[in-house]
Chains A and B, each alone.
Chain A
């Protein structure tokens, strides 16, 4: 077979393999921060596929971070927050069902924040933290989990000789990758990332982005980002939000080359407002 034909066949196989099943199903979800007086999310419906990176983009206040926080019920911590309609199902389970415990849910749906937030503990203890909370005490299991997580987070080579050192001594980029290692140590199904690179320099950003592309082989990733370039570089699918509504949700390639909705085009090309 001609080289180019092989490439095209391989590309089509890759695309086919990446047509994954749905992990998160957001079904007409409405959300309010003031007990239902005003809706911050207005009937969002979308399906987030397995082992892909899905980017949520949109101007400040559009609801993208709110939706992200709905996915592991982080908004439960706000007294006046309320789901006004619809449902969110993760792996078929309604996350607001009475039998679902929010803490258990967050083990399945981990989160990485904008500002890296390692605990003031050693590198080892940071990564082992979640497992210890779950009751894992055996040193060999913890050692194995810490090494695997640090390797998955592309931090092992830099940290293996200083596992007992304080995590706060790492650089910003390393601290964020440590937070990712801490998240994946408990083997979640989904990783939520809320602007994970906004406080990092370009080199550290590139390392985290590279890491995300590697991690999607094992995890489903949902990322909120203000960087159009980042969304176009790392995500498979992109959702554009505006004023609490999902304007367009499609493959990243489609969104950034030929979006179907003018509002999307105006936003991504800087003609918004």
Chain B
């Protein structure tokens, strides 16, 4: 709803800075996730190390965003859309920080896997990564463009990531039972599958917060979608 300029230009500047910082953090989280998986698939330990090292930037950005948000609350007492935007940025930063943490976990396991003999089926993880990365990318674009339709599409992709996670994880679990020589690597791959699925879940959280920020409807935990986002032929409750 918010569109016109605030009477205090400093308030608009502070909101702009908060949003820009959150977007920078989102780009960082995407990069870290990509580096961690690329490190595994391209057998590049350096990329894994990069993902681990760059997580520190994400941690600092999370703290910065919390501080910027608190300063805005204290100085300007935002209400309505402005308030939801500040809270949305602070919650999004927490989700992004957790995504970066998943990237660190993936990178650490990937380094372990890289120490051993190459497993040919490792590329099977790529499909799951593509779904998780697409969900994250869509969530970030939806945040950047305040696009509720795109945010909703992230939520809709949950079924796909669950399905892909189950399929990929089951494959590596079976290998774990049969290929005893590489059981540790397959176990690590099962864990990486779980973390990628978690990235999808965190992207969904971001999408839900975007819908709250823009429409003020809280759709978490089965909350109803706002009327403007309900298709006539779909159920109004979210699938989670």
Partner-B contacts on A (CB < 8 A) = 228-229, 232, 256-259, 262, 265-266, 268-273
Of A232, A269, A272, the contact of B82 (CB 8 Å cutoff): A269
Judged by a CB distance under 8 angstroms, whether B78 is at the interface is: yes
Of B3, B11, B83, B216, the contact of A270 (CB 8 Å cutoff): B11
**B77–A229 CB distance below 8 A:** yes
Q: Which residues of A contact B3 (CB under 8 A)?
A: 271
Q: Which residues of B contact A270 (CB under 8 A)?
A: 6-8, 11, 76
Closest residue on chain B to residue A268 by CB atoms: B79
**A269–B8 CB distance below 8 A:** no
Q: How many A-B residue pairs have CB under 8 A?
A: 45
Q: A257-B216, A271-B6 are in contact. Are A262 and B83 (CB under 8 A)?
A: no
Q: A257-B216, A258-B216, A265-B2 are in contact. Are A273 and B80 (CB under 8 A)?
A: no
**A269–B6 CB distance below 8 A:** yes
Q: A265-B1, A271-B2 are in contact. Are A256 and B7 (CB under 8 A)?
A: no
State the CA gap A266–B81 with chains docked (Å). 10
Closest residue on chain A to residue B78 by CB atoms: A269
Closest residue on chain A to residue B11 by CB atoms: A270
Interface centre among B3, B77, B79 (most CB of A within 10 A): B79
**A257-B80, A269-B2 are known contacts; what are 6 more A-B pairs with Cβ within 8 Å?**
A259-B80, A268-B80, A269-B6, A269-B80, A269-B81, A270-B8
Q: Which residues of B contact A265 (CB under 8 A)?
A: 1-2, 80-81
**A256–B77 CB distance below 8 A:** no
Closest residue on chain B to residue A228 by CB atoms: B79
**B77–A228 CB distance below 8 A:** yes
Q: Which residues of A contact B121 (CB under 8 A)?
A: none
Q: Which residues of B contact A259 (CB under 8 A)?
A: 1, 80
**B83–A257 CB distance below 8 A:** yes
State the CA gap A169–B82 with chains docked (Å). 44
**Ranked 9 nearest A-B pairs via Cβ:** A258-B216, A271-B4, A256-B79, A270-B7, A265-B80, A269-B82, A265-B1, A268-B79, A271-B6
Interface secondary structure of B, over-half rule? loop
Give the contacts of B179-233 with A (CB-CB under 8 A).
216
State the CA gap A257–B217 with chains docked (Å). 11
Closest residue on chain A to residue B7 by CB atoms: A270
Q: A228-B77, A256-B79 are in contact. Are A266 and B84 (CB under 8 A)?
A: no
State the CA gap A228–B2 with chains docked (Å). 17
Closest residue on chain B to residue A259 by CB atoms: B80
Q: Which residues of B contact A257 (CB under 8 A)?
A: 79-80, 83-84, 216
Judged by a CB distance under 8 angstroms, whether B5 is at the interface is: yes
Q: Which residues of A contact B2 (CB under 8 A)?
A: 265, 269, 271
State the CA gap A266–B76 with chains docked (Å). 14
How far is the CB of B215 from the nearest CB of chain A, in Å? Answer: 8
Q: Which residues of A contact B84 (CB under 8 A)?
A: 257-258
24 pairs from A and B in contact (CB 8 Å cutoff) = A229-B77, A232-B79, A256-B80, A256-B83, A257-B79, A257-B216, A258-B216, A262-B1, A265-B1, A265-B2, A265-B81, A268-B79, A268-B80, A269-B2, A269-B6, A269-B78, A269-B79, A269-B80, A269-B81, A270-B6, A270-B76, A271-B4, A271-B7, A272-B7
Q: A270-B6, A271-B6 are in contact. Are A258 and B77 (CB under 8 A)?
A: no
Q: Which residues of A contact B5 (CB under 8 A)?
A: 271
State the CA gap A228–B78 with chains docked (Å). 10
Q: Which residues of A contact B78 (CB under 8 A)?
A: 269
How far is the CB of B219 from the nearest CB of chain A, in Å? Answer: 14
Closest residue on chain B to residue A272 by CB atoms: B7
State the CA gap A256–B7 with chains docked (Å). 18
